[in-house]
Structure 1
Amino acid sequence: MTSTRIPRHPVTPASNTVLLDDRRFHNLLPDEEWGRLPLAIWRRFSKRFADGETVVYVGEVKEASFTLLGFWLAQLARLIGGPLPTGTETGVPMVVTVTEDAASGGQIWTRICARSHGFPQVIHSAKRFAGPTGLEEYVGCGVSMALRISVEHEALVFHSTDYALQIGPLRLSLPPWLTPGDLTVTHSDLGDGLFRFTLDIVHPRFGRLIRQSAVFREATS
């Protein structure tokens, strides 16, 4: 796929990115577990850019599906910013940008998924190094989920552990019946600069509701 530039945000080329030994993700795991990651994954999650700088990953959706309940869940989630995929097309381009956010000390993630017809779907979220597990994903309208990370089969895996609503200084955990179930995001390295991101949402009663998998590489300028 072709290189991608995001206006007003400098894109750091993959060939000369400076690693600043960012330990924010590393500190969430024992050294032994972190050491089981492939070097390529360690490098991707050890980058820290200056405030406002962006790294861009370009790729293609390889797998996308949801049940009828998953479809309506994704539509309902539009009320809080639309954080879930709403299409099942495969073979379409997908771009992910990660931008440093000095205000929160975290990262802003933007996912742009093309469609055969109409505008692409754009999903925004922020990874914050806060909350009960030390890492949470904020999706908008005060809604966030605590994430626990682990290493499974040499992949870095993010598991949801708690959904919450932030109202001012108060963080209110949501009851299970108000949540979509267990969310898992898996980052696995494929070699040759490629990696796969897989999203699964599995409800304890209704099973897998949503699945999306895409393969990426870092864009160059």
Structure 2
Amino acid sequence: MNALKLSHIIPFHPPPRTDTRFRDLLGPDWHRLPAAIRKRFGKRLQGGSSVTYQGIVTKMRMNRAGWCLAQLARLVGAPLPYDMSSVNRPAVVVVTEDAATNGQFWIRQYGRAKGFPQTVHSSKRFSGPTGLEEYIGHGIGMALRVEAADDALLFKSDQFFLQIAGRRFRLPRILSPGKLVIGHHDLGDGAFVFTLSLKHRLFGELIAQDAVFQDAKE
């Protein structure tokens, strides 16, 4: 009887599962990463569960070509930061486990000086030629290569593609927006910086953004 009463008072939270998906992509290089990064990317959420990271945008740069590209990309969901006023504004990242595809949904929200914040939606799937792909909707996606550095986990674009009526078409290099590198750099004390850099072989650095976040509370 006492045990039955306690079961109604103390909620049961199943222990987090180990997530080996990123570790499998990196192989032995997984152990190059700081322990804090291995913990963040090595904890599997229950299907449908989310984790939220709160922070602030600390840097934003874009040249004229980058600004034009970012504005044009707003037609397909605004996957690139486009407002310089986001610097020193709140930033939020929400990661949700997608049980249906064995992947993850990512929502990134950046504050702006005026109007609603910019919201970026994407879906990470552990498939494709590199083992990891990111979809932004409208049939647009990119294959990512994952690399480990001494203080960072890096996601580098390998190819961009369109998926139409079940068929997949790789974008030729001339139509590619450039080389995209997304970094997760550990700062210690439960903090990390999310970096985004998009460079084009003709137009140079199009867009660069840094945002500092804190670990979610357990």
Percentage of identical aligned residues: 50
Specify the SS of the correspondent of 1:28.
Answer: helix
The AA in structure 2 aligned to 1:75 is Q
1:62–1:215 Cα contact (<8 Å) kept:
yes
For residue 219 of structure 1, what is the amino acid of its counterpart? A
Q: TM-score, normalised by structure 2?
A: 0.90
What's 1:58 paired with?
54
Query: Could you say which structure has the larger radius of gyration?
Result: 2
Q: Which residues in structure 2 correspond to 1:106-185 (within 5 Å)? A: 106-185=103-182
Q: Which runs of 5+ in 2 are unaligned?
A: 1-12
| Distance in 2 separating the partners of 1:51 and 1:168 | 28
RMSD, aligned CA: 1.5
Q: CA separation of 1:17/1:215 partners in 2, compared to 1, >3 Å: closer, same or farther? A: farther
Structure 1 gaps of 5+ residues are 1-15
**Shift of the alpha carbon at 1:18?**
4.1
Match of 1:72 in 2: 68
Q: Distance in 1 between matches of 2:63 and 2:72?
A: 14
Q: Give the length in aligned residue pairs.
A: 205
Query: Could you say if the C-alpha distance between residues 46 and 70 of structure 1 is closer, same or farther in structure 2, counting changes exceeding 3 Å?
Result: same
Looking at secondary structure, tell me which structure has more helix per residue: 2
Distance 2:54 2:108 in 1: 10
The whole-number CA distance in structure 1 between the counterparts of 2:204 and 2:67 is: 14
- Runs of 4+ in structure 1 off by over 6 angstroms are none
Instruction: Determine the C-alpha separation between the residues in 1 that align with 2:209 and 2:135.
Output: 20
8 Å CA contact 2:16–2:46 kept in 1: the answer is: no
